[in-house]
Structures are given as C-alpha cells and as structure tokens.
Homo-oligomer: A and B are copies of this chain.
Amino acid sequence: MDVMNTYRSILKWGDPAHEEAFDAHMLGFIGKTFGLSQGDLREKYLPGQDSVRLKKPSIPRTVIAALEKIAGKENVAVGDYERAYHSFGKFYLDLVYLRLGNVKNPPDAVVYPRSEDDVVKIMALCSAKKIPIVPFGGHSSVTRGVEPVKGGISLDLTRHMNRVVRVNEVNGTVTVQPGMYGPAFEEYLNRYKSGFTCGHFPQSFEYSTVGGWVVTRGAGQASTGYGKIEDMVLSLRVVAPRGVIETRDYPAAAIGPDIDQVIIGSEGAFGVVTEVTMKIRKRMPASTAYVSFMFRGFTDAVRAMREVMQAEFGKPHLFRISDPEETDVAFRLKGKDGSLADRMLSLLGYKPMQRCLMFVAVEGDRDYAKLVAKKIRAVAKANGGFATGSSPVKKWLEQRYSSAYLRDPFMDLGVMTDTLETAVSWENLVPLWSAVRTYIKSRPNTVCMVHISHVYENGANLYFTFLSPIRKGKDVEDFVSFHKGIIDTVHANKGSLSHHHGVGKLMAPWMRRELGTTGLGLVQAIKDYCDPKGIMNPGGTLGLK
C-alpha cells in the first residue's frame, strides 16, 4: 500500500511516512486515564489507511482549460488526492472525516497561481462563471477555514507565491508573498545580513504561511513582546473581485478607517492577500533572559502576570502560565511526580493539582532583558512564586511545536483531542477558566489542560486543550454537542469566540451573538462590496452569507 495516497497521509501532522508511538509506560498511563480497553490499545481506531477516492468534480472541462491557460497546465489539478488534500484543515472533525474516508466538500480543482497577475485573471474568470475561490495556505486551519463547502477552486498559494520580495533594513520591514511557510520565512530573515527575526511563532509555525497568519489574525508564542500579526503588518496588497486594494507602509496614519485592519482577519472571504509588508527585528538570541516560577495556585500566578503587564518596566516576549492540571501533566510526563523536587515543592505548599508553572523569556537588548527578568522575579516572589530557573523554559522552547504531533497517535487509541482558545479581560479571566474547566471536566475520563500564552495590559488569552475518550460510532455527533457546550460556556463567561485561531465556518453560528446584528451586518457589507457575487470562501466563513 502506498502510504502517500491514503487519507491518513492527508490528516497526519508532519511527515506522513513517520508514525509517532507511545512507549509502554505512556500507554499504561493513557489507558488508565481514559479508561481504554486492551482492544483500544492494541488496534488503531479508524486509521484512514484506504486510498483516496472522490466523486468526479462538477466543474466544466472548458473552465479547467481556461484555468490551465491562465496558470499553466502543471498548475491546475483535478486528481482525487490533491482535491481531498485541499478539502480540510486540521480541526478535530476534519481528521475524523478523513479517517472515515468521508470527503464531503472537495474543491472541483486546485490551482497554484504563479503571481498576482494569475490571481487577478483567475478571479476574473471565476467571477464571470460564479465559481467559488478558497485561498489555501499551510493546511493547518482549525476552524474549517479552508473547506470549500460550495466547491469551486482551492487556490493554493504555497507552490509559487512563497518568496520574500524585499527586505528594507532602514525601515525595519520585509515584504513577503502569502504562501511562504513560517520556517522558510524565518530562516531567510535569520540569514539576512546581520540577522533578523519576524517574531511570529504560532503553534502551527511549521505548517502555516504568512498569508494564513494575516487572514486569521494569528498570534505567535512571543506575541506578548512582539504583538499579534495585526500589530506587525504595515501594508498589504489584496486582490478582490471588486479590484486591487493596496495600502502603504506608513508607520501610522489618520486617513480614515484602517483598511489593513479590515483585511486582517478576513479569512479569504473578501479577496486574496498577495503581498504583506511587515515589521522585522534584529535577532539577538544570546541576549535573551529566561526565568520560570512555580506558584501555589492559578489565582496567584494570574495576579503576578497581571502585575507584570501593568508595571510599566518593559514586557517579556514569551509569557505563559500552565494551570494546575497542565502543570500536573507536565510533571507526570517528565516522570517528576513523586520525585524529590515534587515532594519538596509539596512540603513548601506548592501542591499537585494546585500549583502552576510560569515561563518567561525576555528578548532584545541584553541589559533590557536582564532588567525585565529581574523585575518579573520580584513580582513573582511577592505573589508567592518559587523561582525554578531558566532550564524549564529552554526545554519547553526546544519542543514547543511537538504537542501537535501527538494528536494522531491519540486518535489511533480512540482518544479525541482538540484545543480552543479565547481572549478575556483580567477581571473575567479566572471565572471563565473555572466555568469552562467545570464544563469540560463534567465529561468522564477527560483531561483538560489550560494555559495563558498571549498577555496584554488589559487581559490575556486562555488556551484549552482537552483529551477524552471517543464515543465510537457516534464520533461526530458526540464531539459536536460537547464542543458546542464549550463555546457556549466561553461566550456566556465573556470570552471572545477566538483570540487567534479565527472564526472560519466553525464559529460562524456564534458570530451574530458576538458582533451583534449591526456589527455582523457591517462585516457583510464589507464582503458584499469586495466580493459582490459572493465567490470568495463562501458558505458561512465569518458567519457571512
């Protein structure tokens, strides 16, 4: 069997030919935690190893020919595998459907434009024929953001439109095409002359693109210092069915509404971003200061974090708190439960399932980083924080992209795992955390780990990871109803529908409640202007018609 032609090769995070495996100790732990049977542990659940087979596309042959004329024959694909690949992102149910071999909404064709000019021509053709266009980047959407629910064309920007156009060292900016993947982009900047960084490292960094970061309003792990993507973008070029919108790289301006901030977060529903000019910074890795702390409880840790953000002595770049359950899991996974360190911490009042880890990294000038780290140490201490040195942070950074690789082996065992995130003001943070945890934990044999990873003067995000046994045979219905309950609980407790994953089609049903009727109508009006025939990522993206 050719592993490369299977549903599994599409759903897998990372190299499709490589299979992660848990060791015996870990398997035992997992089996006990989730109440799995020997059968569960022995046999892969819905491995998705069949070869991909789809129904024929419904797009007329003449349109394919026209697309081939525009972008070149080699850049238009109608094969089953490529169409299936472009049908989903990495949302939990995407993976379930792939394991079930159920590709509900494949695109009719995949097109790889070579240039903005190709994009303009493809859009003109699709406008004339009312064919949907779904822009496609790194394949890591967790919001059904790239699912072509109305068919049409998946416009994959990663094959050709994936280059740095120019670096401007004086302005401190880079102009880059949307289809460039994170690692290639960052490596280019690191190697450019004295060395720069884009400062944007989302969890999906390895399999996400600059364009994806922009249109979803993404955030990276160093966002507390460098800001979210919307704080980094200085100007954009966007091809919409209405025409091309181009903004300028002013550092700020007072020329009406901020058009960049209309396009950022537009999730392909207004047009295709074809060029991004964003900030870069000098790379000074040797100057970074790392510190970590243990707190007696979540409230103490959150108070310390808030005090740091409001103290006006500078800001860390990486700033995280793991809640008690996430801290506990980290201890167990590292085999530290029951260790001397564990027992010492307990004796000092830092008890399992109460204590919380805080990670800090401060980048920039060496003296600045030292000062901020010193100040944070003082705030942490005043809130009962126990300094645990720099190595936990460094170790975490070394494996910071690894957790995503564990989803597939967990699903093989019959364990669902998904993440949700929200932004919330400080005063609502602990109540929201508590309410959502209570809801998630009401499901039997369920692990719920929470961290704060993007921090502001006025609040922070909360990032929920849950793992729970799959209700086999009722996979979809069971998940949908559980997931809906989480979002309802987040929303009732004053959290945003998303801090950085975006809305996609997944969160669409909540958007009217989130923005209000007039607010949602405003977003629809913007779409109707940009995309009068409704061909751009149609079928509910952002809750739009």
A17 at the interface (CB under 8 A from B): no
The answer to whether B170 and A427 touch across the interface, beta carbons within 8 angstroms, is yes
Contacts of A281 in B (CB 8 A): 310, 312, 457
Contact of A526 among B267, B375, B525 (CB under 8 A): B525
Known pairs A282-B310, A427-B168; A257 contacts B253 (CB<8 A): no
In chain B, what residue has the closest Cβ to A421?
B254
Our pick among B371, B425, B494, B515 for the contact of A259 (Cβ within 8 Å) is B515
A423 located at the interface, meaning its Cβ lies under 8 Å from any Cβ of chain B in the complex:
yes
Is the Cβ of A243 less than 8 Å from the Cβ of B371? no
Bound-complex Cα distance A380 to B81 (A) = 60
Indicate whether A240 reaches chain B with its CB closer than 8 angstroms: yes
Bound Cα distance from A494 to B168, whole angstroms: 16
* Set B168, B454, B526: member contacting A522, Cβ < 8 A: B526
B511 touches A256 (CB 8 A): yes
Cβ–Cβ contact B529 & A522, under 8 A? yes
| A375 surroundings in chain B (CB, below 8 A) | 365, 367-368
Interface-facing stretch out of A25-33, A154-162, A481-489, A495-503: A495-503
Q: Is the CB of A257 within 8 A of B252?
A: no
Copies in the complex: 2
Please give the distance in Å from A446's CB to the nearest CB on chain B.
Answer: 26
With A and B bound together, what is the CA distance between A363 and B312 in angstroms? 8
Query: Number of contacting residues on A, CB 8 A?
Result: 94
Query: Which B residues lie within 8 Å of A496 (CB)?
Result: 248, 250, 253-255
With A249-B458, A365-B313, A514-B255 already in contact, the answer to whether A528 and B525 are too (CB < 8 A) is yes
Does B427 lie within 8 Å of A171, measured CB to CB? yes
User: What is the distance, in angstroms, from A261's C-beta to the closest C-beta of chain B?
Assistant: 4
Which of B258, B265, B459, B501 touches A265 (beta carbons < 8 Å)?
A: B258
Provide the A235-271 mask, 1 if CB < 8 A to any CB of B, else 0. 0000010111111111111111111011111110000
Residues of A488-533 whose CB lies within 8 A of B = 494, 496-503, 507, 511, 514-519, 521-523, 525-526, 528-530
> How far is A230 from B92 in the complex, measured between Cα atoms in Å?
36
Most B-side CB within 10 Å, residue of A244, A245, A253, A282:
A253
Given B172, B256, B265, B518, which contacts A257 in the complex, CB threshold below 8 Å? Answer: B265
Are A262 and B257 within 8 A (Cβ)? Answer: yes
- How far is A511 from B522 in the complex, measured between Cα atoms in Å? 22
Bitwise, A171-192 to B at CB < 8 A (1) or not (0) is: 1110000000000000000000
Q: Among the interface residues A171, A460, A517, A530, which one has the most CB atoms of the partner chain B within 10 A?
A: A171
Q: Say whether A424 faces chain B, with CB atoms less than 8 Å apart.
A: yes
Check: A234 CB closer than 8 A to any chain B CB.
Answer: yes
Q: Which residue of B lies closest to A143 (CB)?
A: B254
Which stretch in A55-63, A213-221, A330-338, A384-392 binds the other chain? A213-221
State how many angstroms separate the Cβ of A262 from the closest Cβ of chain B: 4
Given A312-B364, A367-B371, 5 new contacts (CB under 8 A): A172-B310, A251-B423, A256-B511, A313-B367, A368-B375
Interface residues of A (CB under 8 A from B): 168, 170-173, 216-219, 228, 230, 234, 240, 242-259, 261-267, 279, 281-282, 284, 306, 310-314, 363-365, 367-368, 371, 375, 423-427, 454, 456-461, 494, 496-503, 507, 511, 514-519, 521-523, 525-526, 528-530, 542-543
User: What would 7 A/B residue contacts be, using CB atoms closer than 8 Å?
Assistant: A171-B427, A173-B425, A251-B457, A251-B460, A257-B263, A279-B457, A314-B368
